[in-house]
Amino acid sequence: MVAPLLRMLARVLAVLTRRRDDEDLDQELDSHLAMLVDDYRRSGLSERDARRAAMVAVGGRAQLREEHRRTRGLQWLEDLIVDLRYACRACARQPGFTMTVVVTLAIGIGANTAMFSVVRSVLLEPRPYANADRLVTLSELWPQLPGPRPVSMLNYQDWVRQNTVFDRIAAVSWGSVTVSGVGESVYVNGSTVSPAYFDVFGLRAALGRTFIPGEDQPGRDRVVVIGHRLWTSQFAANPAIVGTSIRLDGQSYTIVGVLPPHSSIEFLDPQIWRPLTFDTLPPRGSRTLRLAVARLKPGVTRDQAQTEMQVIAKRLAAQYPESNRDYGVVVEALTGPVGPSVETSLYLLFGAAGLVLIIACVNLAALALTRGGTRTREVGIRLALGATRGRLMRQFLTEHLVLGMCGGLVGIALGYGLVTIMKAAIPTTGLRAAFPPDTVIGVDGWGWLFAVALSAISGLSFGLAPTIVATRQSLTAAITPGGGPLMTWSRARGRHFLIAVQLAGAFVLVVSASALVRGFVALSARVESGFTATNVLTAQVPTPYRRFESAVALNAHLDEIARRIRSLPGTRDVAFADSLPTQGASYLTRFQIVGRATDQFLRRPLGGFKVVSPSYFQAVGLRLLAGRVLDDGDRDGAPFVVVVNETLARTHFPGASAVGQRLLMRRIPLEAATSAAGPARQVRLTADLEWTIVGVIVDEGVDPFGNRVAEPTVYATREQHPRANLALVVRTEGDPALMQEPVRKAVSAFDPNQALADIAPLETLAPADVAPDRLRSLLISMFAAIAVALAALGLYGVVSFAVAQRTREIGIRVALGARRLDVGMLVVRQTMTIVTVGLAAGVGLALIVSPTLRAFLYGVPAVNVASILSVAGVLTGVALIACYVPARHATTLDPLKALRQE
Amino acid sequence: MDNRSSILQGTLDLMVLKTLDAMGPMHGYGLARRIEQISEDALLVNQGTIYLCLIRLVQKRWISAKWGTSENNRKAKFYAITKAGRKQLQAEASNWERLSGVIGRLLRLSPSA
């Protein structure tokens, strides 16, 4: 058993000690001969005869040495070493070709390595909790509004009681808070959750514990679990933190646990969790839970759960028609912080990068094929000397493998660069964060492995065609001077096929890129329409409810902040708003148009309700379309007025003026809207109040959660609809970034307990909102440009080569009287045939790919006649340019010289 | 090469091992002469072939090689059987005996029987 292994090892080692072993054998044979000669001499032969007889008896020295090598060593390993050495020399001998191959492959492999690394770290990295594939979210579906929406607490309780498909289920509500008492006050993303929440994720505390049953009861609910990041940033990773108390929105809580690192388990990356509690349950029509999370029972699919939840929703709708009619439930896989759109776009980009690599390989194959001609003679001589075709094939493939690896190494360096660029360009925090906050993105060992494997595959695949062609050639044709028969067009069919493939691939990429760019432009136009993002500074101003006894006190507090900031040099307008431009409205309202058929409350149309200062419109440059904007006269006690956006006016007052119309709406009391945990509590809306529409403004932007349609929205002043936790909007004279410190100082000089969060120029927020779209368009455009350049180069190379090969034929044609124009047209016509075939295939491919793109286009069609025609036009133009030079060369050939060539 | 008639190869291996076992360390020349005498040139096409067999056995660690000086003062490589080689020899030898017994009986069968 051991002997064969030992022998194999010895043979591998023998390859390395080849020279010494040869010398050893020589010496041994020398002494063998000498002894034999001695013996023959002793038996009476002459010196000369003895030597001759001895040599005959021992046998041929060269054959023996060769055979000995083969016995002791490994032929293939020796061949491989020889081939590698030869390949390196061959590469060095033709630096131009080598550089072209290495750069082309490096671009393809670099792009793929980068995309692979990003996809792996973002999508494939297992999530840090158990049974991640069984985790789902449950939301309600509301009539008239798209997408998953908040959930009624009473409905949630019925789900818990009636379902048979979930192991664990927990409710989640909003719960961001100001943390004070430890260092500077900070405003922290948080959630309020049912105690079972952490069990759903199978998450244990790193320190202390998570919630225990019963901690959602009033009186026992002053406990809090904090995230690892908050623990390190705010509490200096103090291991004795468990059991100490902190102040949240001015109230005292006890820290019971700290979560392990990398356990950000939600969209908004909360860092603080409190139990979800109710003094009294809100009515069924009050939908104030953000969502529910649940773990499916083993063996239950999401579809089964969806079906059962649908049945339960129907039952509830029949039971409580006034609050539940037309409401549904949607069960979605918990995608984690990475939304499906990020996932799709990453795979899309990965696909595009793959296509670039394929085009690169095809291009190099065509290039190598044309160059294969230059090695005809070398191959011929080798064949004549007795090399087998298999041996030649191995040598050729080794050469391409070496080229592939060189390209791969440069490609890995490029990949590192590309990953760095992508990381810098994609926001990782905030509402539109593309990745989970703790994601570590980088090229790791797997990335290297991927790149090396890809290099090998690329090297071999682009080397395959030239290898086969080179080793298939006939022996005589190769060494006959003058190169055998006339090169005919049909013999170059393989190359033409490759060019057509490249063109088809390039076509798909260019069409996709143009669609994505158009989508991006449309999106940017929509996001930026309506407001001016330059010179605007924004910040969150958390104002916990319990700090202010009344709306009047709160507004006085905000007035003073505004006054102080306005008095800073360099500020123009100071305003508050309960959500920033680009972020839509944070609250929804139901309204009844006065004079139309009245509907019961829960059946009224919904719209966004945005609370702003009158100066808001000017501060962000929202254009007034009709009537007037809000002004300082619209105070408490004055008639209730609102400004509506274009969409509301168009939807509800088509063809008529909205100004002067009246809406019945109820107010959310300050107490409910102000506490961070507020929406989960019972919301007692006021009675219907009558609001007069005084003006219409342009739509100001989009909903952050991917629902990119402007909603009907009304704007009211904070005097007429008090609201806490507003955002500050400051229009500055110059660079808003320079105003950050003065604004912060002014606020803390006024009130050291007033935290300011997320202070940043609006411009950095607005682009962040579209950054994934921008990056997507940019990358795919880059890929498309590379593809077009490669295809053009390939076409140029192949056409030039064809013209060079046909020099004699063209010479004969010209000598026989063909006009120069005819010769030029011949080349162009034959090129265009390839181009037409390639483009036709491209159109087909583009139609197949286009549905994938639709998600990113915001209504722009992925493939239309205009885009197909224009891309085809551009590519044909590029092809014409690529074949112009060789065609021109053909027309200017001197027939005499051409015929004398070779 | 390994795929050359493996019976011949096996025989040659066995012969080398047996010779070294019986006569102690020997150089290649001595082994070649010895085998020629015994086999009457049936096994060695030419004397050089012995070295292919020797390197194979060295690599299998059945014999060991060491440079030394021959009886008439020439530098030569001496081969000696190892412990593993003896074990192999024993196994092969009994194998051969069994096999040659079988073949012998087979060949002794008379057509009439």
Give one DSSP letter per residue of A467-506, joined into a string. Answer: HHHHHHS-HHHHHSTT-SSPP-GGGGHHHHHHHHHHHHHH
Q: Is A78 or A291 the better-scoring residue by pLDDT? A: A291
The distance of A464 to chain B (nearest Cα, Å) reads 31
3-class SS of residue A192: strand
Question: A56 to chain B, minimum CA–CA distance in Å?
Answer: 8
| Interior/surface letters A461-482, b for 16+ CB within 10 angstroms, e for the rest | bbbbbbbebbbebeeeebeeee
CA dihedral (A828, A832, A833, A837) in degrees, to 10, reads: 160
pLDDT band at A696 (very low <50, low <70, confident <90, very high): very high
Lowest mean pLDDT among A2-16, A430-444, B77-91: A430-444
- Does the pLDDT at position B3 exceed 70? no
Is residue A162 pLDDT above 60, yes or no? yes
CA atoms of A286 and A140, how far apart (whole Å): 12
Q: What is the pTM of this model?
A: 0.60
Tell whether the model's pLDDT for residue A724 goes beyond 70. yes
Please tell me the distance from the alpha carbon of residue B42 to that of residue A106, in angstroms, as a whole number.
61
pLDDT of residue A428: 53
> Which of A2-11, A625-634, B32-41 has the highest average model confidence (pLDDT)?
A625-634
DSSP state of A695: E
State the pLDDT at residue A88. Answer: 86
The per-residue b/e assignment along A589-601, b for 16 or more CB within 10 angstroms, e otherwise, is bbbbbeeeeeeee
What is the Cα–Cα distance from A176 to A178, expressed in whole angstroms? 7
Residue A676: Cβ within 10 Å count: 27
**Structural element, H or E, at residue A643:** strand A641-645
Helices (H) and strands (E) in chain A, counts: 27, 27
Give the count of beta carbons closer than 10 Å to the beta carbon of residue A832: 15
With CA atoms as reference, the chain A residue closest to B3 would be A71
Mean pLDDT of A740-756: 86
**Measured between CA atoms, how close is B17 to chain A, in angstroms?**
15
The fraction of chain A above a pLDDT of 70, given in percent, is 83
Q: What is the mean pLDDT of residues A511-536?
A: 69
Please indicate whether, in this complex, the C-beta atoms of B46 and A35 are within 8 angstroms of each other: no
- Write out residues 54-113 of A within 8 Å (CB-CB) of B: 56-61, 64, 67-68, 70-72
- The set of residues, in sequence order, having a beta carbon less than 8 Å from that of A609 and lying 6+ positions away, is A585, A587, A588, A589, A665, A713, A714, A716, A721
> What pLDDT was estimated at residue A155?
94
Say yes or no for a CB contact (<8 Å) between A7 and B60: yes
A466 is written with which tokens?
Answer: 């030239």
Which residues between 26 and 55 in chain B have a beta carbon less than 8 angstroms from any beta carbon of chain A? Answer: 27-29, 32, 45-49, 51-52, 55
A766 pLDDT band, cuts 50/70/90, is low
User: Looking at residues A203-213, what average pLDDT do you find?
Assistant: 88
What dihedral angle (degrees, nearest 10) is formed by the CA atoms of A487, A490, A491, A496? 110
Instruction: Give one DSSP letter per residue of A17-80, joined into a string.
Output: THHHHHHHHHHHHHHHHHHHHHHHHHTT--HHHHHHHHHHHH--HHHHHHHHHHHHS-HHHHHH
Q: Above 70 in pLDDT, residue B112?
A: no
Q: Which comes out higher in pLDDT, residue A456 or A148? A: A456
Residue A695 phi/psi, 5-degree rounding, is -160, 165
Name the more confident of A392 and A310: A310
Q: Distance between CA A898 and CA A463 in Å, rounded?
A: 32
User: Is the CB of A20 inside 8 Å of chain B's CB atoms?
Assistant: no
Q: Which residues of B touch A6 (CB under 8 A)?
A: 59-61
Q: What is the Cα–Cα distance from A507 to A878, expressed in whole angstroms? A: 12
Region A207-227: mean pLDDT is: 88
Cα Rg of chain A (Å, integer): 38
Confidence band of A374 (pLDDT split at 50, 70, 90): low
d(CA B102, nearest CA chain A) in Å? 27
- Chain B nearest-CA residue for A61: B48
* B3 part of contact set with chain A, CB < 8 Å: no
Domains of chain B, CATH where assigned: 6-108 (1.10.10.10)
| Coil, strand or helix at A516 | helix
In this complex, is the C-beta atom of B11 within 8 Å of any C-beta atom belonging to chain A? no
**Residue A754 burial (C-beta neighbours within 10 Å; 0-12, 13-18, 19+):** middle
Strands A148-149 and A135-141, by their bridges, are antiparallel
pLDDT, residue A735, reads 85
Give the mean pLDDT of A826-855. Answer: 82
Mean residue pLDDT of chain A comes to 80
Q: What is the rounded distance in angstroms from the CA atom of residue A771 to the CA atom of residue A631? A: 35
The rounded distance, in Å, linking the Cα atoms of A264 and A436 is 8
More confident position, A431 or A710: A710
Chain B CB contacts of A67 below 8 Å: 1, 52
pLDDT of residue A512: 79
Per-residue confidence band for A531, with pLDDT thresholds at 50, 70 and 90: low
Q: Specify the pairing of strand B75-81 against strand B63-69.
A: antiparallel
> What gap in Å lies between CA A526 and CA A530, rounded to an integer?
8
Query: Residue B72: its chain A contacts at CB < 8 A?
Result: 35, 38
CB contact under 8 A, B47 and A59: yes
How far is Cα A442 from Cα A287, in angstroms, rounded to an integer?
42
Phi, psi of A180 (to 5 degrees): -135, 175
Give residue A694's pLDDT: 95
Q: Minimum mean pLDDT among A38-47, A129-138, A453-462, A642-651: which range?
A: A129-138
pLDDT band at A127 (very low <50, low <70, confident <90, very high): low
Amino acid at A257: G
Identity of the residue in A6, A24, A57 whose CB atom sits nearest the CB atom of B47: A57
State how far Cα A659 lies from the chain centre: 45
What DSSP designation does A636 have? T
Q: Give the range among A154-158, A178-182, A262-266, A824-828 with minimum mean pLDDT.
A: A262-266
Q: How many helices (H) and strands (E) does chain B have?
A: 4, 3
Q: Cβ separation of B60 and A27 shorter than 8 Å?
A: no
pLDDT class for A487, splitting at 50, 70, 90? Answer: very low
In the three-class reduction of DSSP (H, G, I as helix; E, B as strand; rest coil), residue A668 is classed as coil
Q: What is the pLDDT of residue A300?
A: 92
Q: Which residues of A touch B77 (CB under 8 A)?
A: 24, 27-28, 31
| pLDDT score of A546 | 67
Residue matched to tokens 């959602």 = A216
Whether the predicted pLDDT of B1 surpasses 60: no
Q: Are B61 and A4 in contact (CB under 8 A)?
A: no
User: Which residues in chain A have Cβ-Cβ distances shorter than 8 Å to B61?
Assistant: 3, 6
Count of other CB atoms within 10 angstroms of residue A857: 17
Smallest CA–CA distance, residue B113 to chain A, in Å, is 43
Per-range mean pLDDT, top range of A166-180, A414-428, A690-704: A166-180
DSSP 8-state class, residue B98: H
Using the predicted structure, report yes or no on whether residue A706 has a pLDDT greater than 50. no
In the block, tokens 């002997």 appear at A3
Q: Using CB atoms, which residue from B60, B74, B76 is nearest to A3? A: B60
Q: Which amino acid is at A633?
A: G
Which amino acid is present at A86?
Y
What would the two tokens of residue A772 be?
């994934």
Element (H, E) at A816: none
SS (H, E, C) A218-275: CCCCCEEEECHHHHHHHHCCCCCCCCCEEEECCEEEEEEEECCCCCCCCCCCCCEEEE
CA geometry: angle A350, A510, A122, nearest 5 deg: 20
Q: What is the pLDDT of residue A328?
A: 92
Nearest to A68 among B52, B76, B84 (CB): B52
Between B7 and A518, name the one with better pLDDT: A518
User: pLDDT at position A848, please?
Assistant: 84
Q: Taking CA atoms, what residue in A is nearest to B28?
A: A32
Do the chains contact at B76 and A35, CB–CB below 8 Å?
yes
A694's enclosing H/E stretch is: strand A689-697
pLDDT of residue A183: 66
A263 vs A164, residue with greater confidence: A164
Residue A87: burial class (beta carbons within 10 Å; 0-12, 13-18, 19+):
buried
User: Given CB atoms, is B74 within the 8 Å cutoff of chain A?
Assistant: yes
Of A858, A866, A864, nearest to A521 by C-alpha is A858
pLDDT band at residue A22 under the 50/70/90 scheme? confident
DSSP string for A389-424 = HHHHHHHHHHHHHHHHHHHHHHHHHHHHHHHHHHHH
Cβ(A459)–Cβ(A403) below 8 Å = yes
- Residue with the bigger pLDDT between A269 and A839: it is A839
> A534: which residues sit within 8 A by CB, 6+ positions away?
A763
ipTM > 0.90?
no
